[in-house]
């Protein structure tokens, strides 16, 4: 559904990863980022009407987020679209943030439309399922810091969890590419 091949998208994700610049790239241009975000917001409002809500982030590798509530003209479960400060990366989903179910809730027609909007805005649509792949880059994410803290507590005997809960938590404490490009820093 994406114009760019997935391997090319993965290469772009790796190329833009700079551990010295967690919130935005060295060559970040705020006006260009806001212009892209305004183009995405405008296109979403033309498609879904006034129910679209949009806001910019601070202290995040994401630039901003647009959302369409389920009770508006959006799909069941609602819709969200985010723009990263890096590479003009855009991702989208329905329902809860950054889950496999969010990735499957988008129609092929919408993804094709959004990819065209992204291309016109100078952005790259990155499918959420790619962003949910394990992150293997050099930049520490908040989830990495949380994992180190939990490991330290466990080493001190203060984990407070049984083995089954710990296994589920280990899955939650693995960074994914979304943590790198669409999360607080």
R_g over Cα of the chain: 17
Look at residue 105 in the predicted model and tell me its pLDDT.
81
CB 10 within 8 A of CB 130: yes
Look at residue 73 in the predicted model and tell me its pLDDT.
60
pLDDT, tens digit, 9 for 90 and up, residues 125-150: 999 999 999 999 998 876 656 555 55
Count of C-beta atoms within a 10 Å radius of residue 155: 9
pLDDT, tens digit, 9 for 90 and up, residues 45-89: 999 999 899 999 999 999 999 998 887 666 667 899 999 999 999
CB 86 within 8 A of CB 61: yes
Look at residue 82 in the predicted model and tell me its pLDDT.
97
- Interstrand relation of 89-94 and 53-56 (parallel, antiparallel or unpaired): unpaired
CA-to-CA dists, residue 17 to 8, 10, 25, 140, 168, angstroms: 15, 11, 8, 11, 28
Rounded to whole angstroms, the Cα distance separating 135 from 90 reads 17
Predicted confidence (pLDDT) at residue 23 exceeds the cutoff of 70: yes
Q: What is the average pLDDT across 119-128?
A: 96
Q: Which of 79, 89, 113 minimizes the C-alpha distance to 33? A: 89
Rounded to whole angstroms, the Cα distance separating 53 from 69 reads 8
The phi and psi torsions of 121 (rounded to 5 degrees) equal -90, 0
pLDDT, tens digit, 9 for 90 and up, residues 150-180: 555 566 776 555 555 544 455 566 899 999 9
């Amino acid at each position: 559904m994406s114009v760019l091949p997935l391997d090319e998208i993965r290469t772009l994700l790796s190329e833009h990863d700079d551990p010295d610049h967690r919130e935005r790239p060295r060559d970040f241009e705020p006006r260009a980022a806001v212009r892209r975000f305004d183009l995405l917001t405008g296109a979403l409002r033309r498609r879904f009407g006034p129910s679209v809500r949009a806001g910019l982030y601070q202290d995040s590798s994401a630039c901003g987020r647009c959302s369409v509530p389920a009770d508006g003209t959006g799909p069941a479960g609602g819709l969200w679209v985010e723009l990263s400060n890096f590479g003009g990366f855009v991702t989208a989903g329905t329902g809860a943030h950054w889950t496999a179910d969010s990735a499957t809730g988008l129609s092929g027609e919408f993804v094709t439309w959004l990819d065209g909007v992204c291309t016109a805005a100078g952005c790259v649509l990155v499918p959420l399922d790619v962003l949910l792949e394990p992150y293997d880059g050099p930049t520490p994410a908040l989830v990495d810091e949380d994992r180190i803290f939990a490991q330290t507590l466990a080493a001190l005997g203060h984990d407070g969890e049984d083995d089954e809960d710990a296994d589920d938590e280990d899955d939650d404490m693995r960074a994914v590419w979304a943590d790198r490009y669409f999360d607080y820093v």
